[in-house]
Amino acid sequence: MKTHTTTQILDYTNARLKDWYNEVKDYGVNGGAVAFLYKGKIVIDYSENGVNGRFHLNHYEGEAIDYVFNVWSEDANLENDKVA
C-alpha cells in the first residue's frame, strides 16, 4: 500500500468534502466542511443547515487515502459533534 503524506490526505479529504456537500444540496442539506491538522489529529469542521460540528480522528497514518473521508462519512453525527 502506498504511504501518503498528511498534506495529500488533507487535500484529498477536502476535495471529497467539497464534492459531498455539492451533491447533498439536492437533498436539502446546505453545508460545507474543511479538514485540517491540529495537535497531530485530523479535525473536520463541518456545518449542515446552520448547525456546526467538529469531528476528530486520531489515527490516519498508514491508511488508504480515502480513509479519513470514509470514517467521517460513516461516524460523524451532528448531535454528538455539535459545537456552539
Per-residue confidence (pLDDT) for residue 3, from 0 to 100: 85
What is the CA angle 17-65-67, rounded to 5?
70
DSSP structural state of residue 27: G
Question: What is the C-alpha to C-alpha distance for residues 52 and 33, in angstroms, rounded to an integer?
Answer: 9
Length of the chain: 84
Extents of the domains making up the chain = 6-83
* pTM score, whole prediction: 0.94
| Average pLDDT taken over every residue of the chain | 95
Q: Which positions of the chain have pLDDT values less than 70?
A: 1
